[in-house]
Structure 1
């Protein structure tokens, strides 16, 4: 798989089964539920993106939140299918999220990451994200996290 074959688009209600399947495949805790995905698909303050090589061949997803009167967007979740990891899917999704945030006049993008997720941390730091704070016992299973932010200026 080459990243050039990827297409990033807004998720639709017809993608719900595939979104839930990738979420369950990617995470053991802190998963988005079917009901949460459905709410986010219908929300003005959230955007769900999918990276795929075909209509239902999801290689990655990203969920980003926007708050009214805030110049900071929040990447809530990003997931890459295990078979596509290390092939640029995460970078392509992050580029799309950043562009979406810029179009919504956001000055920064913020995210949280598990402190033990070394590959995600490397990706974020390589793409210009800076660690801004520690999050003790942040995750459902008690794992610590880090908050990162990137200026979109």
Structure 2
């Protein structure tokens, strides 16, 4: 699970944010999360055991977006003991919801979760060929600070981004 999966609208600006409920993942979400991984990512998918571990882990927050009872998105935030930096390891959006603003909603929820857990910045990696993800992060106040060649399974380069939380910038 890495980066953001979702295609932006041609204008880059969704009409409005989708009405979804965001909550922590529970064990009963496991099958739906696996289906979302398969639908959202062509490579670098999380394995079932990794998702199972993330659910309820004290150092990982796995948030899900639900439209009524249907899981349509997820975000994974990792924290290390003693660090003020959190890492957004994944945002996944169901292909049927691409371009609706759900990625932005999940990103804002991830930022709020990291801040609530005592982190003052959020870092992430995104594929250099993921234009929708790059636009989302840059418009939300993230700044690129590193390039990592051959980061992904298929050899694609990753761009690393960071945002200071609680400063009111971006958004």
Using the size of structure 2 for normalisation, the TM-score is 0.86
Q: Which runs of 4+ in 1 moved over 4 A?
A: none
Rounded Cα–Cα distance in structure 1 between residues aligned with 2:152 and 2:110: 23
Aligned pair count reads 152
Rounded Cα–Cα distance in structure 2 between residues aligned with 1:110 and 1:12: 24
Aligned to 2:161: 148
Matches within 5 A, 1:1-153: 3-55=17-69, 57-153=70-166
Rounded Cα–Cα distance in structure 1 between residues aligned with 2:127 and 2:46: 16
Rounded Cα–Cα distance in structure 2 between residues aligned with 1:28 and 1:35: 19
Rounded Cα–Cα distance in structure 1 between residues aligned with 2:164 and 2:18: 26
Q: Residues 91-145 of structure 1, C-alpha deviation per residue, up to 9 Å, x if partnerless?
A: 1111111111111111100000000000100000010001010010100111111
Q: The residue matched to 1:120 in structure 2 has which SS?
A: helix
Checking the alignment, whether the CA contact within 8 Å between 2:18 and 2:102 is kept in structure 1 is no
| Greater length-normalized contact order (CA 8 Å, ≥ 6 residues apart) | 2
Using the size of structure 1 for normalisation, the TM-score is 0.96
The structure that is helix-richer by fraction is 1
Task: Quote the RMSD (CA, aligned, Å).
Answer: 1.3
Deviation at 1:42, TM superposition (A): 3.0
- Structure 2 unmatched runs, 5+: 1-14, 167-171
Q: Residues 57-112 of structure 1, C-alpha deviation per residue, up to 9 Å, x if partnerless?
A: 12211111011000000000111011111111011111111111111111100000
